Amino acid sequence: MPGCIVIGAQWGDEGKGKIVDILTAEASHVVRFQGGNNAGHTLVVDSGSGPVKTVLHLIPSGILHDDKVCVIASGVVVDPVVLLQEVQGLADGGLEVADDALLISRDAHVIMPYHCAVDIAREERRAGSKIGTTGRGIGPAYEDRAARRGVRISDLLDRDALRERLEQVVPERNVALEWFGVAPFDIDTLTDEYLAIGDKLRRWVGDCRQTLADARRSGAAILYEGAQGTLLDIGHGTYPFVTSSHTTAGGACTGAGVPPMSIDAVLGIAKAYATRVGSGPFPTELFDADGEALRAAGHEFGATTGRPRRCGWFDAPVMRYAVMVNGFTSLAITKLDVLTGMDELKICVAHDVDGQRLDVCRPDAAAMERAVPVYESMPGWTEDITGCQSVDELPANARAFVDRLSELSGCPVGIISVGPGRRQTIVLNSPFAGS
């Protein structure tokens, strides 16, 4: 009953989608357990006519494989309009999402249009202190969940239940929206619209917990696909510059409703450098030509919002923190190819906060804002590594760099990614091996 959780070790966009797509070959179920369509997971698959890129926001990154079950578990907040668009987008590309290929938890909460309106209005009002949210209504939807007044997927299948929920929540949301100067929402219109949407989703709605329990009993391998990254965790990230869910490994069990003992491996995904979208501390951020070079070579623009990502050097104190919180059993180091051609590569080995040296980062936003990175340098390489199929084919300096990232993070590297494509991946040790 192997269970493997895939977690972003940094600030999101580490390449989780690509790695999950590859590991799906070894699994039967791929489960999104938190977050929503704030995520943007990119898969690049070779077709006869060249690489084809698919960006997924809600549907798990196993969907391109036949005969796998993609599960959207109860910890996810689902914008059903976006979900249906995503299904349609896949169909337009020739992939019909079959009834048994997708399972949406009836307990997952629904992102309603008033959630997006509040998210956007709040951010606009924050002026100089924006969180830089994706504007997808994630925070407000989780607020309603915690307040026990949220709309769940099951409510979209039952007129009376939906109406009752909306009567509880919409008047209050409307008062706030009016205060923000945003037009109010009408309960009758929302009821009709979202019942119609529920009708379209009905064929995929079911009981995820039971399905996953049955799968475990039958010995199936299950992948839990994290969204965002460790430092964006609501409880363990750089609050308030975080998202509204638990992005760390523990979130997989609560979000999917599976026991901790069913997890055998936790794979941390980390870029060979670092990026962050939105506001918040980022000690190794670069504002110079190296930062520009990383952004250009790594195409560092958000898969969800298109915003330029902030770029910086690999931060080992952040990685040690991520290893500590998530218990990574191995790492996938992605985007190593992006560093090709840089003369000198820097790695942050410690944070200096007010004269104190921290080997493990302190995710307190104010303290981390004051953190001065302590760097060491390594020589780069110039050879094109995007075709390398084994570690032995990597230039010695690239091998030494990956070894050093592993050593400083305190975790073995099991996968090295040298390009966006499926084949541009060196698997030293699958997280499923041995479980």
Which among 15-23, 174-182, 215-223, 321-329 is the span making contact with ligand GDP, rule CB under 6 A?
Answer: 15-23
The catalytically annotated residue of 21, 29, 41, 290 is: 41
Tokens coding 399: 């091998």
Residue 38 binding: pick among Mg ion, ligand GDP, ligand IMO, none (C-beta 5-8 Å cut-off by kind): ligand IMO
* CB under 8 A, 24+ apart: contacts of 379-385: 379/343, 379/344, 379/345, 380/339, 380/340, 380/341, 380/342, 380/343, 380/344, 380/345, 381/339, 381/340, 382/340, 382/341, 383/340, 384/337, 384/340, 385/336, 385/337, 385/340, 385/418
Q: Does 109 bind ligand GDP (CB under 6 A)?
A: no
* CA-derived radius of gyration, the chain: 21
Q: How far is the CB of 258 from ligand GDP (least distance, A)?
A: 22
User: What is the C-alpha separation between 211 and 290, in angstroms, rounded?
Assistant: 48
Residue 243 makes contact with ligand IMO by CB under 6 A = yes
In the complex, what is the shortest distance from the CB of residue 42 to ligand GDP, in angstroms, rounded to a whole number? Answer: 3
The residue from 76, 138, 223, 234 that contacts ligand IMO (CB under 6 A) is 138
Q: What's the closest the beta carbon of residue 77 comes to ligand IMO, in angstroms?
A: 10
Residue 227 in contact with ligand IMO, rule: CB under 6 A = yes
Please tell me whether residue 191 binds ligand IMO under the rule CB under 6 A.
Answer: no
Question: Which of helix, strand or coil describes residue 204?
Answer: helix
| Residue 8 contacts ligand GDP per CB under 6 A | yes
How far lies 376's CA from each of 149, 263, 346, 358, 404, in Å?
Answer: 51, 36, 6, 15, 11
Q: Which stretch binds Mg ion (CB under 5 A): 10-18, 164-172, 234-242, 326-334?
A: 10-18
Is residue 38 at the binding interface for ligand IMO, with CB under 6 A as the rule?
Answer: yes
Residues 267-296 that bind ligand IMO (CB under 6 A): 277-278
144 binds ligand GDP (CB under 6 A): no
3-state secondary structure of 251: helix
- In the chain, the amino acid numbered 286 is L
2 binds ligand GDP (CB under 6 A): no
Question: Edge-to-edge, what's the strand order for the sheet holding 265-271?
Answer: 205-206, 102-105, 69-72, 29-32, 222-225, 3-8, 265-271, 330-334, 413-417, 425-427
* Shortest Cβ 119–ligand IMO spacing (Å): 7
Q: How far apart are CA 8 and CA 332, in angstroms?
A: 10
Task: Work out whether 418 is an interface residue with ligand GDP (CB under 6 A).
Answer: yes
Whether 13 is a known active-site residue: answer: yes
Task: Please pick, from the candidates 10, 248, 417, 430, the single residue that binds ligand GDP as defined by CB under 6 A.
Answer: 417
Q: Does residue number 278 form part of the binding site for Mg ion (CB under 5 A)?
A: no
Of 2, 4, 18, 166, the one binding ligand GDP (CB under 6 A) is: 18
3-state secondary structure 407-425: HHHCCCEEEEECCCECCCE
Catalytic residue flag (residue 41): yes
Residue 16 is a binding residue for ligand GDP (CB under 6 A): yes
Q: How far, in Å, CA of 222 to CA of 215, rounded? A: 8
Residue type, 372: V
Using an 8 Å Cβ cutoff, are 379 and 343 in contact? Answer: yes
What residues have CB less than 8 Å from 415, skipping those under 6 apart? 19, 267, 330, 331, 332, 333, 425, 426, 427, 428, 429, 430
Q: Is 40 in the site for ligand GDP (CB under 6 A)?
A: yes
21 interacts with Mg ion by CB under 5 A: no
Question: How does DSSP classify residue 385?
Answer: -
Using CB under 6 A as the binding rule, whether residue 131 contacts ligand IMO is answered as yes
Q: Which is nearer to ligand IMO, 24 or 243 (CB)?
A: 243
CA-CA distance, 16 to 300, in Å (whole number)?
15
Site string for ligand GDP, 257-296 (x = CB under 6 A): ----------------------------------------
Q: Which residue, 334, 305, 344, 342, is CA-closest to 421?
A: 334
Site residues (vs ligand IMO, CB under 6 A): 8, 11-13, 38-41, 131-134, 136, 138-139, 227-229, 232, 243-244, 277-278, 303
Footprint of ligand GDP on this chain (CB under 6 A)?
8, 12-18, 40-42, 44, 299, 303, 334-335, 337-338, 417-420
The residues annotated as belonging to the active site are 13, 41
